[in-house]
Structure 1
Amino acid sequence: MSRKYMPLEIEEKWQRYWEETGTFKVTEDPAKKKYYLLEMFPYPSGKIHIGHVRNYTIGDVVARYKRMEGYNVLHPMGWDSFGMPAENAAIERGIHPSIWTNENIAHMRMQLKRMGFSYDWDREVSTCEPEYYRWEQLFFLWMFEKGLVYKKTSSVNWCPRCETVLANEQVEAGLCWRCSSEVKEKVLDQWFFRITAYIDELLEGCDRLTGWPERVLTMQRNWIGKSFGCEVSFPMADGPGEIKVFTTRQDTLFGATFMLIAAEHPLVMELVKGKALEKEALAFAEEVKKQDKLMRTSDYYEKQGLFLDCYCLNPLTGWKMPIFATNFVLADYGTGCVMAVPTHDQRDFEFAEKFNLRKVVVISPPGKTLDPETMTEAYVEEGILINSGPFDGMENLKALDAIADYLISLGKGKRTVQYRLRDWGISRQRYWGAPIPMVNCPKCGTVPVPESDLPIVLPRDVDFSGEGGSPLARHPDFLNTACPACGGPARRESDTMDTFVESSWYFERYCCPHFDQKPGIKREQVDYWMPVDQYIGGIEHAILHLLYARFYTKMLRDFGLVGVDEPFTNLLTQGMVCKETTRCPEHGYLFPEEVTEGRCTHCGAGVIVGKTEKMSKSLKNVVDPDYLIRQYGADTARMFCLFAAPPEKDLEWSDQGVEGSFRFIGRTWRIVMDYLDDLQGIAPFSGGEELEGDLRSLRRKTHQTIQKVREDMGERFHFNTAISAIMELVNTLYSTPRPSREDRKALAVVRETIEAIVVLLAPIVPHLTEELWQMLGHQGVCLADTPLPVYDPAVAARDEMTIVIQVNGKVRGRIAVAPDEREDRIQALAMADEKVSRFIEGKTVIKQVYVPKKLLNIVVKG
């Protein structure tokens, strides 16, 4: 091969080699330590984006690094291939979703291979294949038998554009997470997974996930939302019935003066039935349903309400409490009804001010008196109970238990625990999903299909009109069947499962992807690989996917299929990739290729450079990975993604940064080529001989770099600082005087340095380094299987120099520092030195004069 660096040629060569030799194919080996590295698998949209490149590059570096550390590394890839986009494509293009999906998979697979990722492609799975979802259907049947799946009529989130139900977690700011359409409410028969059966275990497990970001754990704890409190009964004032309220603040019950009910709560329509305001209440409920749930509960959102012309009674004071429908109470949290204490809750205070409602202070600051008529805001701190009957004078928090006991003794309340988390609605009214293996019989009711009938396969001859919900509901050959119980005519369930079901167990299937016997999971293989040692993916999956995956693993554990409680030991949530936007006054946002020398290629107008934002197609601030690879090569793309920012931080795109990464790779290539002939027949220096001067410095820098890289990459995933250290070593090698060809000892030191550079860079830029490794004489030895270099602590130890410390020109001490120690650090060490500090204590430091590598004079007065 030419000694010119030709990235495309080199990369194609080594990708072909890895594939032909099965370099990254892996099997269970009890004699080796295992390491399961997994990035969240992609939806096959047709093209990878820079976010994919960054995510998968981070994972690939860790996988390759662990392999070189001696681990048996499982690093698989597959496709989350069910979902609405494929169905929409079928409608738009007139092709079957499987054709669109599989074409996209083929293209994206090619792109991922072009990046040189070290996947075991023999373990590839695609969730839309019957070989995958048949086991999911089997698990569904087992869950049904155990009472972990059930069907009920409920009010659900409905996306009118996708024409399907959404789980609460799939509604973002009142919009569909997939298409951003406004979500409506609809009453339907739905299938649910009883995730709440594991609610306490899911919550308590958060405390043991020490390898997860605290931000993610906090989000999961908040979403589960466990609260301890009381359920209090408020009898209706003018007739039978009562309103039940869950509260964690029973200490404020004596100050409850009105009742609030979520506008969309069914109780609202019961209370206004037959009244003149029935239509008004219905219109108000419809208006509130359109409001974003998170915004409704925020402190600054406008408080809306409608008096329902009825009252309930405070069970402790007997006061008549007016009942309002409101927008800042949610129907699906607690009981959907809230006792309002305006003096001690800011939202209640604002509502009371707006509607001129009674306010009674029941918690007083120690030593102070509050007047409800002059209060400008609610008092929400701790204090002493007043106007609270037998509990006057008690600290409010200490009164919580006492008032709970009092309610229980009166038969007006009970202690209880509430959770925010609700069971997982998994029914979707669409075609491109796993069919639910149930049959509806007019005689027998809902009946599970026999296990022997699995998989229930999606029919191919389906009409995709884009109207009227799921095409399965209009497909007679699929729909009409015989009841498994009585043999009579019956109808199949036409709903399919939420795609988050597929992604809740794919990591277990990777352990045994070809196991085709019941139950689809081979326990010995799963027990060897699970749990996933390092999982990598976006923070946007903190609640949806990660919570479901934890639930599903616990369920499979209880079925005896897996031996772990949690699926992921460590979690890394990588940052986003961001880039400035460019916009033409006439043509709007422009793709990078539509801008030349600051002007729009369409009309020649000067473009407006906007702020840096997350890359998105709508803003057109995206970079095509294929273009990047063609222009610079995959190794450059990989290095830039790792060097530009730590993995957990957002990466700001920089064309100059890409160029810089390319230049460094070329520089590394050139210095190896410069020394290649001289190093023939020279073994790396291994010690045993004294080194001096530049050679000693070069070797020390080499071992320091090995130490730094192993710490940064192996322990902290600080790839950017590891790369920086390697760059410094390359610079040191360039600045070291070149030895003569006869100086074999010096060349041995150079070879040790060059080989260290190549091996340390191997996980980051694998194509370049494989090529250099071979050219250095390691034919037949794959660098991916080469152990990482080991540093010698004695060699890596930095030399020390002595700095004399003077105070006003008189020697007061000496400190030992590294030869390259910074001046500000030397000053700090001098000021902290015990001997020196006696002479500057109580005095003012005027200035510090540093003579490099010799002395520091501290000038003081006073």
Structure 2
Amino acid sequence: MTYDFRAIEARWQSFWDEHHSFRADVDPERPKYYVLDMFPYPSGDGLHVGHPEGYTATDIVARYKRMRGFNVLHPMGWDAFGLPAERYAMQTGVHPAVRTAECIVNFKRQLKTLGFSYDWEREVDTTDPRYYKWTQWIFLQLWGAFYDPTQARARPIDELPIPAEIAAQGPAAVRRYRDDHRLAYLHDAPVNWCPALRVVLANEEVAEQVEKGLVVVRRPMRQWMMRITAYAERLLTDLEGLDWPASVLDMQRHWIGRSDGAEVRFHLVHQHDADASAIEVFTTRPDTLFGATYMVLAPEHPLVQRITTPEHAAAVAAYVERATRRSERDRQADAAEGQKTGVFTGAFARNPANGAHVPVWISDYVLMGYGTGAIMAVPGHDERDHAFARAMALPIVQVVGVVGGGGAHPIADAAFSEPGVAINSGFLDGLPTAAAKQRMIEWLEAEGLGRRRVTYKLRDWLFSRQRYWGEPFPLIHRSTPDGDDEVVPVQELPVTLPELADFQPSETGEPPLSKAEAWVQLPDGGRRETNTMPQWAGSCWYYLRFMDPSNDAAPFSRAAADYWLPVDLYIGGAEHAVLHLLYARFWHKVLFDLGHVGTREPFQRLVNQGMVLGATYLPKDRRRHADGSAVIFKPAEVESLAPASDEWRVKATGELVDVQWDKMSKSRGNVVNPDDVVTQFGADTMRLYEMFMGPLEHSAPWQTDGVAGCHRFLQRAYRLAFDGDASGTADSGPDRLRELPPGEGSDRQRRLLHRTIAAVSERIDRLAFNTAISAMMIFVRDIVEPGEPLHRDALAQFSLLLAPFAPHLAEEIWRALGKPHSLAHEPWPAADEALLVDATFPLVVQIQGKRRAELAISQGASEADITSLALASPEVQRHLAGKTPRRVIYVPGKLLNIVV
């Protein structure tokens, strides 16, 4: 007998395709369940075994929910725009569309070999014009809307109230006013420019390129922006009620970064530029205003050039130029480590609390994107300010003391940043920090020197890229003074990409599309936008298109949205904890405000799967190649010193090496191809091992021994059902189902079966797949004992339990049992509650508090019966040795203590 997994898996994958077994349609009569993967970027390298971990988890849930009677939407698609395909085109000349299509074919083949129950009729590709037509449409919804703070929602831009003084200036002024309020708008923004790549990088892309030795500088460039900051408070408050990991919720809250405080005006002293009369700062500690001894502007602050005195101009200009070459990430990292640099502008401002003249500096530890790009520095009570003050020999004044500690606190070596009591602060003296904050804000507002304010660390979303392989913007620019940007009518969407042979941006930063002059320049004088959208655009809303992917009249129907939303379970990597999820939530809220969806949030439950780690083999001396790269040995070059040993050596030389578990990557040589695993062990084995490595949320190493163990379990399950040579050798014909008696078997077998049903059900509900598999392994090990053959109904119910995990083998057993249909939609087995309770329970019997016996007592026995049984026990009688019991103490279900 042989477990021919190759034939079994090919047969059932063909069956599912031919019968559209996992097709999902809107059905108001049935409860829905929408389970979604974070869809992959189809790279040329294909999948490695880390990718299917999350996909296997969602597939188990999808199959389980179908069997529970839910109408399950479980789709898959491709996040296929982006820089990698464009860089490949630059290197090889292969068009990104060609390369992307090749990668998708390979990814899809790999996913289908794993037997995932996707509704492939709903497959989407973000680079398909039929898809990005609607990405462009959604962009136009944002471009055509503004955020109304009084109603706390987006409204059509045509409903924006126009002030009378703006209307009096004419159509051009009205247009500019509207443009200044759109949710999608053009702005001269400082961007991360990489001269070598000639592209703008998102903040999250900077570190990767810097690690490769490329220079990234900050430079102003006219860019499309998304006004996500208008939604900051809603993005924050609507996190409540979401079933997301606490770490992700915390990261989103931190990224949004709400701060409550005050906006304060510091009037400039003897300023030669009359229009630059004051510097506005935001502070969360207005109670420390008396301790502000200097000010700092971000190097990019628009006031820097205007307030800098002539004798300091050269030094300031040089510092500003250096700052443009540093990413915000690097600046923040240096600030966190206490590294401070800066230059004095020569200007002074007046502290509104005490009238003191404080010097104005510039330093790159202040960022233009947070608050106002300027700070009042209180070195006595802020660590960054303290480090800067010490570096520049600036005064440090204490204005907050320790409560109950006599007021004073040593601040020469470190700032005192804890709440306390106001000291050296005039009318605030003696007030605790919370009361001092409120009193200072009231005073500032009464004096016209400031106001209460809430700010957010969240910044507007930089939405354009100087790339070819992305969605074109559906706008046409006009050059006339009163001209307006024109939207491309919906009936003319999509605006498709022109054919190009040269995908390189110009050295000045002009996007590749600017080279397609015939496409850019329209006959009527209009010019198309030559930037493209970022890769985030397509992934912001793919979950919506999955609901109605063949709709040519709209991105999705409202009926589909009302039925399928929200996504019930969303599984993906923690690396998307902030940006993708934040951007998708933002777009969803705009669509909600404009009436296109009926839910405030897109994803109700979120789970981050752990990382599958690969073995990296390193020399013990950690030597490097001549080019500085680490010496790494490939798996084929090493061998274990002994079976199950943790020690490894190089085959050719015998050199001992260390094993280090890392994220899988080609550079480390630790990638495991799922094709190899499926070929050797089968898809069901790989699915089982992906889930058996440990809890879904935890990272775990990929170990071939574990894969083999899961394969042996499936072989044993196969042998339970099919007759043949127990040695496992192939026989002359196909394996046959064993002759099985009807029913569920003996009382012991029935109890084991129903406890397995209960355990697997409860553990799938908790996504505890590894322990669900353990329960099934125990069942296969223990169900058959001498004199107790496996029974037909027990095997049928076990095949249903196995189906979400190893669906091919489960289908094979189900069909062999004579069932006419696939088990994909069969009812999930129900556990008999009566069989989950033991017929007996262990009772500990003590004499004078010492354990003397343990008895098996029937459930439901009375206290009187239990006492009689205990006293009659030979073991108890032996220890009593003729002594007379005076009292019996019974703890129900646990113990009975005899006092003599």
Q: Is the 8 A contact 1:295 1:301 kept in 2?
A: no
CA change 1:610–1:288 in 2 (3 A) is: farther
Matched to 2:257, the amino acid is: G
Q: Deviations over 1:310-359 (max 9, x none)?
A: 22111111112122222322221111111111221222222222322222
Q: Is the 8 A contact 2:312 2:345 kept in 1?
A: no
Q: Deviations over 1:565-597 (max 9, x none)?
A: 111111111111112211366883234344455
Q: What corresponds to 2:533 in structure 1?
A: 497
How far apart are 1:564 and its partner, in Å?
A: 1.5
How far apart are 1:436 and its partner, in Å?
A: 0.4
Give the secondary structure class of the aligned counterpart of 1:275: helix
How far apart are 1:164 and its partner, in Å?
A: 2.7
Give the secondary structure class of the aligned counterpart of 2:289: helix
The correspondence of residues 699-848 of structure 1 with structure 2, limited to 5 A, is 699-714=750-765, 716-734=766-784, 736-739=785-788, 747=789, 750-778=791-819, 780-806=820-846
Q: What corresponds to 1:572 in structure 2?
A: 607
Q: Is the 8 A contact 2:185 2:226 kept in 1?
A: yes
Q: What corresponds to 1:368 in structure 2?
A: 405
CA change 1:334–1:274 in 2 (3 A) is: same
Cα separation, 2, equivalents of 1:440 and 1:382 = 54
Question: Are 2:512 and 1:471 equivalent residues in the alignment?
Answer: yes
Q: What corresponds to 2:492 in structure 1?
A: 453
Greater mean alpha carbon deviation, residues 343-352 or residues 640-649:
343-352
Q: What corresponds to 1:829 in structure 2?
A: none
Cα separation, 1, equivalents of 2:447 and 2:715 = 82
The correspondence of residues 268-667 of structure 1 with structure 2, limited to 5 A, is 268-272=304-308, 274-279=310-315, 281-283=317-319, 286-287=322-323, 289-290=325-326, 292-293=329-330, 295-296=332-333, 299-369=336-406, 375-443=412-480, 444-465=483-504, 468=507, 469-482=510-523, 488-517=524-553, 519-583=554-618, 588-596=631-639, 604=653, 606=655, 608-667=657-716
Q: What corresponds to 2:179 in structure 1?
A: none
Cα separation, 2, equivalents of 1:805 and 1:182 = 77
Matched to 1:514, the amino acid is: S
Q: What corresponds to 1:833 in structure 2?
A: none
Q: Is the 8 A contact 1:269 1:282 kept in 2?
A: no
Q: Is the 8 A contact 2:401 2:408 kept in 1?
A: no
Question: Are 2:251 and 1:216 equivalent residues in the alignment?
Answer: no
- Pick aligned residue for 2:23 from 22, 25, 33: 25
Greater mean alpha carbon deviation, residues 640-649 or residues 608-617:
608-617
Q: Is the 8 A contact 1:163 1:430 kept in 2?
A: no
Cα separation, 2, equivalents of 1:370 and 1:817 = 70
Please, what TM-score do these two structures have when normalized by structure 2? 0.83
Q: Deviations over 1:668-705 (max 9, x none)?
A: 111222599785474333xxxxx8xxx32222111111
How far apart are 1:194 and its partner, in Å?
A: 1.8
Q: What corresponds to 2:865 in structure 1?
A: none
How far apart are 1:6 and its partner, in Å?
A: 1.2
The correspondence of residues 17-56 of structure 1 with structure 2, limited to 5 A, is 17-46=15-44, 47-56=46-55
Cα separation, 2, equivalents of 1:49 and 1:772 = 30
Cα separation, 2, equivalents of 1:763 and 1:295 = 47
Matched to 2:757, the amino acid is: I
How far apart are 1:549 and its partner, in Å?
A: 0.7
Cα separation, 2, equivalents of 1:799 and 1:294 = 68
Q: Deviations over 1:123-176 (max 9, x none)?
A: 1111111111111222222322222211121212223444333344x346x455
Greater mean alpha carbon deviation, residues 108-117 or residues 573-582:
573-582
Matched to 1:751, the amino acid is: R
Q: Is the 8 A contact 1:43 1:81 kept in 2?
A: yes
Q: Is the 8 A contact 1:535 1:570 kept in 2?
A: yes
Give the secondary structure class of the aligned counterpart of 1:4: coil
Q: What corresponds to 1:108 in structure 2?
A: 107
Matched to 1:330, the amino acid is: L
Unaligned 5+ runs, structure 2: 146-181, 626-630, 642-647, 725-734, 860-892
Q: Deviations over 1:86-121 (max 9, x none)?
A: 111212221211111101111111111001010111
How far apart are 1:295 and its partner, in Å?
A: 3.8
CA change 1:266–1:194 in 2 (3 A) is: same
Give the secondary structure class of the aligned counterpart of 1:546: helix
Q: What corresponds to 2:230 in structure 1?
A: 197
Matched to 2:691, the amino acid is: L
How far apart are 1:551 and its partner, in Å?
A: 1.0
Q: What corresponds to 1:824 in structure 2?
A: none
Please, what TM-score do these two structures have when normalized by structure 1? 0.87
Q: Is the 8 A contact 2:334 2:340 kept in 1?
A: no
How far apart are 1:384 and its partner, in Å?
A: 1.8
CA change 1:818–1:504 in 2 (3 A) is: farther
Cα separation, 1, equivalents of 2:364 and 2:855 = 68
Q: What corresponds to 2:93 in structure 1?
A: 94
Q: Is the 8 A contact 2:217 2:324 kept in 1?
A: no
Q: Deviations over 1:238-297 (max 9, x none)?
A: 325211110110011111111122234343333336334524543365247525347437
Greater mean alpha carbon deviation, residues 506-515 or residues 382-391:
382-391
Q: Deviations over 1:436-458 (max 9, x none)?
A: 01112221253322333221111
Q: Is the 8 A contact 1:164 1:430 kept in 2?
A: yes
Q: Is the 8 A contact 2:252 2:578 kept in 1?
A: yes
How far apart are 1:774 and its partner, in Å?
A: 1.5
Matched to 1:550, the amino acid is: R
Cα separation, 2, equivalents of 1:56 and 1:179 = 31
Greater mean alpha carbon deviation, residues 597-606 or residues 150-159:
597-606
Q: Is the 8 A contact 1:288 1:327 kept in 2?
A: no
Unaligned 5+ runs, structure 1: 483-487, 686-690, 740-746, 820-852
Cα separation, 2, equivalents of 1:231 and 1:7 = 69
Q: What corresponds to 1:233 in structure 2?
A: 265
- Pick aligned residue for 2:239 from 193, 206, 224: 206
Give the secondary structure class of the aligned counterpart of 2:353: coil
Cα RMSD, aligned residues only = 2.9
Cα separation, 2, equivalents of 1:178 and 1:124 = 36
Cα separation, 2, equivalents of 1:175 and 1:679 = 58
State the percentage of identical aligned residues: 41
Cα separation, 1, equivalents of 2:349 and 2:444 = 17
How far apart are 1:370 and its partner, in Å?
A: 5.5
How far apart are 1:300 and its partner, in Å?
A: 2.7
Cα separation, 2, equivalents of 1:641 and 1:531 = 27
